[in-house]
């Protein structure tokens, strides 16, 4: 073994971090994200000092609903990546297939993936923890639909970035959704957040969904306001992201970036 060859390979990998934001996020942002999320959970639990009612219900329900959001986002981005990995991207867009049709197909795939994974999680939660997600009642349907649309919004954004910046941005397919986790209030209420972060959370549809879920489980007033906020924000963001995807596709097509991404 030669030290200089080992050092050369290490140097080669270190140089990759100089201009790669995803790689820098792997070192700095993700550990910080874990600290922030679990820190807020600790603050939330400390306030009640073990007297929080239905803590298992909160956390298991939040975990299942968060997975709905995550799988919905992945259903779009992974479908796009699979075309890249199979080197089929150019074949697709050389055909009469339109960008809108491609998005519709990936959205349908995300619904299939969400349905399959959710069935597994719901059954396992019932068997292993005697937890029934359907205690949320009929409110579960609009909650899930809003989370799916939020996943679509993040998925379309991620796909646009991968299309524009190529393989360097592929890591975002697994990490982009977690950028929004601290302001999604999955495991803790919005009141735990500091003021400036709470303002950002109000702009996040997922935060209103999870706030509404906690309201239903606490038997407070019907969560009409959180659902209205979530639905309105989702519709706005979805229209903006679809328009952004079409714009990015046009730019990549004109500059020949689709060839680079697809090879």
Per residue in 47-56, pLDDT (tens digit) is: 655 555 555 5
Percent of the chain with pLDDT over 70: 76
36-63: average pLDDT: 62
Q: Half-sphere exposure of residue 246, counting CA atoms within 13 Å on the CB side?
A: 9
Using alpha carbons, list the distances in angstroms from residue 72 to 28, 50, 68, 178, 221: 26, 33, 6, 13, 29
Percent of the chain with pLDDT over 90: 18
pLDDT at 175: 80
pLDDT range class, residue 62, cuts 50, 70, 90: confident
81-100: average pLDDT: 80
Query: What is the chain's mean pLDDT, rounded?
Result: 79
DSSP per position, 32-71: HHHHHHHHHHHHHHHHHTT--TTHHHHHHHHHHHHHHHHH
Using alpha carbons, list the distances in angstroms from residue 224 to 22, 61, 176, 185, 215: 38, 19, 29, 18, 10
Dist CA 179 CA 209 (whole Å): 17
pLDDT range class, residue 40, cuts 50, 70, 90: low
107-113: average pLDDT: 84
Helix, strand, coil abundance in the chain, percent, nearest 5:
85, 0, 15
Q: Is the pLDDT of residue 226 over 70?
A: yes
180-184: average pLDDT: 88
Instruction: Return the CA Rg of the chain.
Output: 21
How buried is residue 95: exposed, middle or buried, by Cβ count under 10 Å (0-12/13-18/19+)?
Answer: exposed
pLDDT at 126: 80
- Dihedral through CA 163, CA 168, CA 172, CA 175, nearest 10? 170
SS3 127: helix
């Amino acid at each position: 073994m030669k030290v200089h060859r080992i050092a050369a390979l290490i140097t080669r990998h270190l140089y990759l971090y100089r201009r790669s934001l995803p790689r820098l996020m792997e070192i700095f942002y993700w550990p910080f994200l874990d600290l922030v999320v679990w820190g807020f959970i600790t603050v939330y639990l400390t306030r009640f000092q073990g007297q929080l009612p239905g803590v298992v219900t909160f956390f298991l329900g939040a975990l299942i609903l968060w997975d709905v959001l995550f799988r919905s986002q992945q259903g779009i981005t992974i479908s796009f990546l699979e075309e890249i990995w199979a080197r089929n991207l150019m074949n697709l867009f050389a055909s009469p297939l339109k960008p809108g049709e491609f998005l519709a197909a990936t959205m349908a795939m995300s619904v299939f993936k969400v349905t399959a994974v959710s069935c597994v999680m719901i059954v396992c939660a019932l068997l292993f923890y005697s937890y029934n997600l359907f205690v949320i009642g009929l409110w579960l349907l609009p909650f899930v639909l809003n989370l799916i649309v939020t996943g679509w919004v993040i998925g379309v954004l991620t796909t646009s970035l991968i299309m524009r910046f190529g393989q360097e941005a592929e890591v975002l397919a697994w990490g982009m959704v977690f950028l929004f986790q601290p302001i999604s209030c999955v495991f803790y209420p919005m009141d735990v957040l500091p003021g400036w972060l709470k303002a950002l959370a109000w702009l996040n549809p997922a935060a209103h969904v999870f706030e509404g879920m906690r309201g239903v489980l606490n038997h407070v007033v019907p969560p009409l306001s959180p659902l209205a906020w979530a639905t309105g924000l989702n519709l706005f963001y979805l229209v903006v992201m679809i328009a952004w995807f079409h714009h990015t596709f046009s730019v990549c097509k004109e500059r020949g970036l689709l060839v680079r991404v697809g090879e």
